[in-house]
Structure 1
């Protein structure tokens, strides 16, 4: 279990075992319908305290191939409602992918520039990939996209990428328009039309469409708090 690569189930397990737990596990049933399709890009924009991080923890726990989460998901509504309704198997993609989980505020809240935050994030995530798959022929440890492509060429495990607080750059560097464009272009190049992506899931306070004419992330379907 890593910090960024295959982070496991412990955070979601704590939530499920807590006295107050809001079961949002049926979100997985929807996500399973878009996994490995052209609709595999999902963005959720909601205010703080609306459970975005808990849902991200749940997604990681479900898809992480190293998490061994069957017992955990057998407790929640995803499996119970699937069994009662006779719908498609709730565990179709359980434990099927490598998962990369990135909380963007960690990299942009205490850095001096967008470039500095991006460089730090890429090196840390790349380091875990290289430790996990040491036999791959890596070209540049500072280039996360290239590192993922090199690892995928070696192991063929598709990724679920979960990005929490994706809009951190816009909140921490509101005047840095060039930095914002650089960041959006990086996310596009990381995610869009990549064979190694099975699912991309992003959360944030601000919606993607807020950023006007720059359409680097126009492949995402956005869901706000107005969606049930």
Structure 2
């Protein structure tokens, strides 16, 4: 039993995971691997954004197949135990499990990094197979071939987690990265001792190889392949189950809602359109009894800006539309995420999809959820290079204050400010473009409100509804947009379609919101090229 060969580490980590209150049983993934083990010589690579359960899955696979650790105490109570062939595969194989992101101690060069891994794995092999002559051996591949020559049943399952870690390290040069690909090729490709090679990471593996080094892998990404999708991230049904556990827990008072969970952490999609929630954020919010930026907190807002800083002009207008909740057509090339200099619009958005900052569905990209939108919002208010988007976003606190106080002159002034810029969105050929600008000038409102666009209310769909989140006594806002009509017509629509019903609780339940309900109409006259605003209090909850 060594550090990489038949280690105990994965068993301990996965056992701990199964004991957590918000554990989700994904063990049926194992049944999909059984046929691959039977075939032998299979190579699969599953890539997902950070914190989507890749490492938990890698630990589960190691724990199940690893012949040195009896895992019956873990798996007998999981779904996989119902598979009739479960026992035939459990704890039957030698497993080499390398978490490439586990440095153990600081590394200052690629040779140091890969040298430690090779040295430790060789030591593990020599300790496990003392009767095989490996004296003086320095190649892991040669050592494994010697083992197979001595015992023709010695075939290994490889579990390689975060395979792409090296590509994000400053100590690795371009030449080092090529050498790393050669290391993987020499270790795995066409090797008879490989029973199954299971690799995970963020970046697509074969696409990083310019030749045939790693072309034996079949890749499964969230955007391009449906297979295995249900095992990474949480489905609607799984999130429902976890929220029910939360509701039945001893936590008091409870600050989360299922609706809020969807707004904050939903938004990713598999190729077939199945909705996927960010698992780390869902679990952390349930444990903390609070909505927050739990996934993106591991990387600051400038991590998002990194992808666009070299060519802001190519994506600036698209960002404005996505902030407005409008999906933008783009061709996603997942291999583009590996480019060192992201220059084109397609390369930039492709990288952001691969890393999880955007989601991709039906040929369009969009910002997945409130958690990511908050990070984009911070970026828009801190980066002057974003031009008109930055200038409008900086006015957003003044816009909210003017709305709450009924100062329509200031509201018009801020909207007209857009005409002093190069804002291409302001052709206003449709309300979608006006919607994008309105989103920008109300960015600051997201600190205190949950803002829903095209929200069902009364007998129709309101353009925007602002739900107070930090103070339930704060004013509620219903905002309707009109191009080629008056703000009075917008307010009349709010009244006629009874949008204010959205703020009333169900019969017999206490009122959720007790502040005023403001009807806000914003219009744009194409001929006069002027904005108009009107605000009316349609209900006063304090009366």
Fold equivalence (TM over 0.5): yes
User: Which residue in the other structure is 1:85 paired with?
Assistant: none
Equivalence map 1:158-177=2 (5 Å)? 158-173=155-170, 176-177=173-174
Q: Which moved more, 1:214-223 or 1:123-132?
A: 214-223
| Distance in 1 between residues matched to 2:211 and 2:31, nearest whole Å | 32
Show the counterpart of 1:130: 126
Aligned to 1:59: 61
Cα distance change, pair 71–108 in 1 and its aligned pair in 2 (3 A): closer
1:27 aligns with 2:29: yes
DSSP 3-state at the match of 1:95: coil
Q: 2:92 matched to which residue of 1?
A: 96
Which residue does the alignment assign to 1:105?
A: 101
Aligned to 1:154: 150
CA distance in 2, matches of 1:122, 1:131: 14
Distance in 1 (CA, whole Å) between partners of 2:136 and 2:170 is 27
Shift of 1:31: 0.9
**Using CA pairs below 8 Å that are at least 6 residues apart, which structure has the higher relative contact order?**
1
Structure 1 unmatched ranges of 5 or more: 83-87
Q: Which moved more, 1:175-184 or 1:108-117?
A: 108-117
Check conservation: 2:66, 2:91, Cα contact below 8 A.
yes
1:7 alignment counterpart: 7
Q: Which has the larger radius of gyration?
A: 2
Can you list the C-alpha shifts for 1:156-200, whole angstroms capped at 9, x where unaligned? Answer: 321111111100121115872221111111111111121111111
Structure 2 distance, partners of 1:181, 1:212, is 8
CA distance in 2, matches of 1:129, 1:39: 20
- Asked if structure 1 preserves the Cα contact closer than 8 Å seen for 2:189 and 2:216, the reply is yes
TM-score if structure 2 supplies the norm length? 0.39
> SS of 1:105's equivalent?
coil
Equivalent position of 2:212 in the other structure = 215
Contact 1:181 1:214 in 2 (8 A): no
Task: Give the alignment partner of residue 76 of structure 1, picking from 58, 75, 78.
Answer: 78
SS in 2 for 1:15: helix
For structure 2, the 5+ residue unaligned runs are: 230-543
C-alpha deviation, 1:38, in angstroms: 6.1
Asked if 2 retains the 8 angstrom alpha-carbon contact of 1:44 and 1:202, the reply is: yes
Asked if 2 retains the 8 angstrom alpha-carbon contact of 1:43 and 1:201, the reply is yes
**Aligned-partner SS, 2:88:** coil
Q: Is the 8 A contact 1:140 1:146 kept in 2?
A: no
Distance 1:175 1:112, change over 3 A: closer
Question: Is residue 136–residue 154 contact of structure 1 (8 Å, CA) maintained in 2?
Answer: yes
Tell me the distance in 2 between the aligned counterparts of 1:200 and 1:48: 21
After the TM superposition, which of the residue ranges 13-22 and 48-57 deviates more from structure 2? 13-22
Return closer, same or farther for 1:178/1:36 CA change in 2, 3 Å cut-off: farther
CA distance in 1, matches of 2:121, 2:206: 27
Q: 1:6 to 1:223 in 2, by over 3 A?
A: same
Query: For the Cα contact (< 8 Å) 1:108–1:169, is it kept in 2?
Result: no
Query: Is the aligned partner of 1:195 residue 2:197?
Result: no
Query: How far, CA to CA, are the matches of 1:58 and 1:40 in structure 2?
Result: 18
- Output the CA distance in 1 between the equivalents of 2:197 and 2:155: 11
Find the partner of 1:204 among 201, 205, 211: 201
Query: What's 1:115 paired with?
Result: 111
Paired residue secondary structure (1:222): strand
User: Structure 1 residue 144: deviation in Å?
Assistant: 1.3
Q: Does structure 2 conserve the Cα–Cα contact (< 8 Å) formed by 1:45 and 1:204? A: yes
TM-score, with structure 1 as normaliser: 0.88
Contact 1:63 1:96 in 2 (8 A): yes
Q: How many residues align?
A: 222
Give the Cα separation in 2 of the matches to 1:190 and 1:140: 18
Over aligned residue pairs, what C-alpha RMSD do you find? 2.2
Which contiguous aligned blocks of 4+ residues in structure 1 show a shift greater than 6 angstroms? Answer: none
